[in-house]
Amino acid sequence: MNQTQVPSGLNRLQMLALIVGGVGFVLLMIGWFLSPAQFFPAYLVGYILWMQVALGCLAILMIYNMTGGGWGYVTQRILRAGMLTLPLLAVLFLPILLGLPTLYEWARPAAVAHDELLQHKSLYLNIPFFIARTVLYFVVWIGLALLLNRWLLHLDQSFDLAAGRRLRGLSGLGLGAFGLTVTFASIDWMMSIEPHWFSTIYGFMFATGAVAAAFALAIIVLNWLMKRTSLVEVVSTLNVNDLGNFLLAGVMLWAYMTLSQYLIIWSGNLAEETPWIYRRTTGGWEVVGLLLTIFHFFAPFLVLLSRTVKRRINWLVNVAGLVLLMRLVDLYWLIIPAFHESFYLDWLMIVAPIAIGGIWLAAFIWQLKKKSLLPLYDAGVEEKLLDYGRTQTSTHS
């Protein structure tokens, strides 16, 4: 059966990623030593970008297990490798734990002592509970990833429809758990940087960003592999078209969520909410916002309307690259204005996503290399059997 082999170029890429990541981390350590106040926000932005990619892979894989579809069959192994980087990301979270008081106002006892609202929230926003919750999120995500991985590989070895059904059940429950944990993770890690502010759509926004980032990554990796392996013979135009449509849906949903939040807060014009959007639309930050409107929405949206682009992966990959870059800019725009009233960018903010990305990519390739690039099991197999069964019965009758 189909054993699409892993190309040797992957080893070189992995080495390169590891070197870039290693050098990056050395630079980050220097940055941390020089100025923790600069280091932590930059690290958080870079970290969450890759966290979103990994979480998106987990979510998409679970969705694919429930819906099936050729697009998922050809990207399954990419998504699998993506979600299996979660243990690494758990380790990479440790620096953030060391910087809690730098990042979060609620973690500074002096600030809480003078703020009634923070005292009210300290039931939820306190360091031990924060750590406990973060541990819980990682237990849920890593547990899901490992279990999914195990069952998917089991299906590779023995064709077992009952196991396929179990996998679907796990994915359904897993998506529910994913929705809850991701929501609270986004509140804890990002929203609580400005602890007075709240927005109920935040979890949806975070999850949408994660899924869009993961689709972008999947397209980029698929393109890289198609250039170098026999995968190019398996992936159909329709698969690429579907992935393009998902990327389109991702940018549209991102715009929808971001606009909904903006419009509602802007219309309400309440003192407890508007500071958040005010900060992000003044002092030079409005330029970043405008950049996002154009390059996170209008440009990819208009290009992806064209079927010609969606059906050619070497064109589509450019859009995917843009979307992944804009995911970084979006996170930067969501997080950094909390620390700087006017536009601010330093070298650590450039280094952090690259350094973490390098290490992440090395781990990703390590996982990708372990298995063939195509699985034996396809979540759409039941439908195929059904069609097969239908032709069988009709020819016999």
Partner 1 sequence: MQSSEMLGKTPEVQLPAPVIGPGYTYGSVTDKISSLVLSRRTPLAWFVAFALASLGTAMLFGTIAYLLYGGIGIWGNNVPVGWGFDIVNFVWWVGIGHAGTLISAILLLFRQQWRTSINRFAEAMTLFAIANAGLYPLLHTGRPWFDYWLMPYPNTFGLWPNFRSPLVWDVFAISTYATVSFLFWYTGLIPDLATLRDRAKNPLLRILYGIFALGWRNSAAHWNRYHAAYLMLAALSTPLVVSVHSVVSLDFAAGIVPGWHATMFPPYFVAGAIFSGFAMVLTLSIPLRKAYGLEDFITMRHINNMAKIMLVTGLIVFYGYMMELFMGWYSGSQYEEYLILNRMTGPYAPLYWALILCNGLIPQLLWFRGVRNNLLVLFIISLIVNVGMWLERFVIIVTSLHRDFLPSAWGMYYPTIFDWTMFIGTIGFFLTLLLLFIRVLPVISIFEMRELVPESENA
Partner 2 sequence: MNNPTLYGLLAEFTTPEALIEATHKAHDMGYRKMDAYTPYPIEEVGHALGARGTRLPYIVLAGGLVGAIGGYLMQYYASVIDYPLNIGGRPLHSWPSFIPATFEMTVLLAAFAAVLGMLGLNGLPQPYHPVFGVPGFEAATRDRFFLQIEARDPKFDLEETRKFLESFQPEKVSEIERYKYPG
Q: Which positions lie near partner 2, rule CB under 8 A?
A: 259, 262-263, 266-267, 269, 305
CA nearest neighbour of 57 among 252, 213, 253? 213
Smallest gap from Cβ 262 to partner 2, in A, equals: 6
User: Where would I find the H helices in the chain?
Assistant: 9-34, 36-67, 70-83, 86-92, 94-98, 100-103, 109-113, 116-121, 127-157, 161-189, 202-228, 231-234, 237-268, 274-280, 285-292, 299-304, 307-310, 313-335, 347-370, 381-396
Q: Tell me whether residue 183 or residue 274 sits nearer to partner 2 (CB atom).
A: 274
174, two tokens: 């897993």
Partner interacting with residue 290 (select from partner 1, partner 2, none; CB below 5-8 Å by kind):
none
Q: How far is residue 195's CA from residue 117's CA, in Å, rounded to a whole number?
A: 9
Which lies closer to partner 2 via its Cβ, residue 91 or residue 263?
A: 263
Interacting partner of 199 out of partner 1, partner 2, none (Cβ under 5 to 8 A depending on kind): partner 1
User: Among partner 1, partner 2, none, what does residue 1 contact (CB within 5–8 Å per kind)?
Assistant: partner 1
Cβ proximity to partner 2: between 183 and 281 the closer is 281
CB of 329 to partner 2, least distance (A): 21
Give buried/exposed letters for 83-102 (b at 16+ CB in 10 A, else e): bbbbebbbebbebbeebebb
Q: Which is nearer to partner 2, 198 or 262 (CB)?
A: 262
Q: Which is nearer to partner 1, 346 or 382 (CB)?
A: 382
395 C-beta neighbours (distance < 10 Å), count: 7
Largest CA-CA distance found in the chain, in angstroms, rounded: 82
Supply 165's token pair: 């059904």
Q: Which is nearer to partner 2, 269 or 397 (CB)?
A: 269
CB of residue 340 vs partner 2: minimum separation in angstroms?
24
Is the CB of 102 or the CB of 293 nearer to partner 2?
Answer: 293
As measured in angstroms, the least distance from the Cβ of 252 to partner 2 is 11
Closest CA to 75 of 65, 55, 61: 61
Tokens coding 70: 């050729």
State in angstroms the smallest separation of the CB of 229 from partner 1. Answer: 22
Among partner 1, partner 2, none, what binds residue 308 when CB lies within 5 to 8 Å by partner kind?
none
Alpha-carbon gap, residue 111 to 222, rounded angstroms: 48
Q: Which does 394 bind (CB under 5 to 8 A by kind): partner 1, partner 2, none?
A: partner 1
Q: How many residues are recorded in the chain? A: 397
Only one residue has tokens 């198609």, namely 226
Instruction: Return the one option of partner 2, partner 1, none that residue 8 interacts with (CB less than 5 to 8 A, by type).
Output: none
Token output for 217? 């990554």
Give the footprint of partner 1 on this chain (CB under 8 A).
1, 67, 69, 117, 120-121, 124, 159-162, 165, 172, 176, 179-180, 183, 187, 196, 198-204, 245, 252, 256-257, 260-261, 263-265, 267-270, 272, 376, 381-391, 393-395, 397
**Residue 235 or 362 having the CB closest to partner 1:** 235
